[in-house]
Amino acid sequence: MESRLCMNCFAGYRPEEGELCPVCGWDNGKAQVQGGLRYHTELASRYVIGRVKAINGEGVTYAALDRTTKRVVEIREFFPASLASRRAEDQSVVPLSGHEVEFERYLQDFIQLSKGISRLRELSVVTSVQDIFEENYTAYAVYEYIPALSLRRYVENAGGSLGWNETNRMFMPVLTALGLMNSLGISHLGVSPDTLRVTKSGQLFIAGFSIASIRQVGSPLAEELFPGCAAIEQYSEKAVCGEASDVYGLGASMLFALTGHLPQEAPKRLHDQRLMISKEVLKALPPFAVTAIANALQVKPNVRTASFERFKTELSAAPAIVNEVDQTEAIRRLPPIDVDLPQNKGLPPAVWLIGSCVVTLVALVIVATMWLGDAGMSIGDIQKIFDSGSASEEALVVPNLVNESYDEWVKKVGSDSYQFKLKVSDRIFSETVEEGNIISQSPFKGETIARGDTVLVTVSKGSPTRTLPSIKGISFADLQKLLIKNGFTPVQEEEASEDVEPGYVIRYKDHVEGDSLDYGSTITVIVSSGPEGQAGG
């Protein structure tokens, strides 16, 4: 039997072996996402379309095969759902009535952005545009495909945070590239742990480009702001966004890499700018890095680090690679800030040494105060960070909660073994973490907290797309429970039937079992009312 192509990695497989790709594990029995180009659609007489990988207010990203080079690529299609629809017969993109001018304007923005990115192909840390063409009354950009994880996933796999040395090594090339991009008039405006990706070799690169109109509120396109990474000006349709906005996004992403969590959304930080960070992480960071990131994350643009050149300068206030030391040694590093150290002008060595230590301690307290904010820890609390000795007997070591069931942990907390509180900070969709399980936690595994303190967790809502279950021999009452459990909203319509028992399901309206639909979709179910003439009997 002739082999088929996997719609994710385009490896050949034999149908008799099942629909799961033996190379990447993709289920080729899954239907294409509704609204996407059909599987095997050929574009520009060269590219074969596979599965939909991402959708936002600008358009759709597909896995695709370049027949010319025999390589897998990613194709970005300009298809703003708020302004256009797809014609079923030829799959062309048609502007909605009254939106033709807007569609054309944003289409030209898409083409210009793609051309701008194509000029950056010499930058190894920017995913490159290899081809741009127009077809189906819209435009397509062909991006290089680089196997990689999102920075978010990479940090989670690394235990929830990265050290300063690794973070600095990974981010510096990206910082330089973003500076060059902005000097050429290309702002990303979506820099985040989801659009920064990490290769198998540990190199960070920039992906997830979209036109500026979906990265700021106020346009007719569905906006795509990344909470915690979007700068305050992106929440205003009148404000100017640019390099300083990207500085904020990169600063937030660096904070995520170092701590495992993002700042609050910018509008909330107008009233409380503190960047919450554990004492243990604070002790391990060079003070100059703390200052640089805090400056990059100033909420108001007029006081924020305005350029990547300045950001890089502040991050380079000490050697680029800080010597690996354990946390007790980290507090002994002299902070590179403008403080005059006591000079040994004939003083006894012991006096000079004590004076040096006092100045160092004062400098560290100043930096810690800047980091935690005026309403954060007191000077006395900061002093305790540097006190030697064992932890208090009242301290608890935080257990690992990631990938564990949230409901099960709710039952455990408060017991003698786990005397802390649990609070959900967010519930988000995840393709990798099972619904109801914990995606991330703060404080992290192994950190210490006082008894009765709260551990914040992010809980998975499961996949953003769900599959319609089988309807064979099932009553509407049972199917209704199943659909609700899977995140759908079921609606019943009755129809007379000689073959199906009253109250049992005949079919889905407009869909078939196995269809993949968005979480929360309304599903109409056709239910038997019995033979004609006996309905309601």
Judged by average pLDDT, the poorest of 147-151, 227-231, 496-500, 504-508 is 496-500
Class at the top of the CATH hierarchy for domain 395-460: alpha beta
Fold category of 149-336 in CATH? Transferase(Phosphotransferase); domain 1 (1.10.510)
Domain with CATH 3.30.10.20 in the chain: 395-460, 465-528
Residue 230, number of CB atoms within 10 A of its CB:
27
Q: In this structure, are residues 56 and 78 in contact, taking their beta carbons and an 8 Å threshold?
A: no
Domain with CATH 1.10.510.10 in the chain: 149-336
Judged by average pLDDT, the poorest of 105-109, 238-242, 284-288, 388-392 is 388-392
Confidence at residue 169, expressed as pLDDT on a 0 to 100 scale:
95
Q: What is the pLDDT of residues 300-320, one digit of tens each?
A: 999 999 999 999 999 986 443
The pLDDT of residue 400 is above 80 = yes
Angle between helices 349-372 and 287-296 (to 10 degrees): 20
User: ω into residue 443 within 30 of 0, thus cis?
Assistant: yes
Q: In this structure, are residues 124 and 206 in contact, taking their beta carbons and an 8 Å threshold?
A: no
Q: Using CA of residue 58, residue 59, residue 63, residue 68, what is the dihedral sign?
A: negative
Domain with CATH 3.30.200.20 in the chain: 31-144
Which pTM does this prediction carry? Answer: 0.61
Judged by average pLDDT, the poorest of 320-334, 385-399, 458-472, 480-494 is 320-334
pLDDT band, residue 334 (cuts 50/70/90): very low
The answer as to CATH 3.30.200.20 being correct for domain 31-144 is yes
Confidence at residue 2, expressed as pLDDT on a 0 to 100 scale:
61
Q: What is the pLDDT of residues 112-123, one digit of tens each?
A: 999 999 989 889
At residue 478, φ and ψ (nearest 5 deg) are: -75, -40
The pLDDT of residue 298 is above 70 = yes
Contacts of 375 (CB under 8 A, 6+ apart): 272, 274
Q: What is the pLDDT of residues 254-276, one digit of tens each?
A: 999 999 999 999 999 988 888 87
Confidence at residue 394, expressed as pLDDT on a 0 to 100 scale:
63
Residue 505, amino acid: V
3-state SS, residue 383: helix
Rounded Cα distance between 519 and 502, Å, is 29
The answer as to CATH 1.20.120.80 being correct for domain 465-528 is no
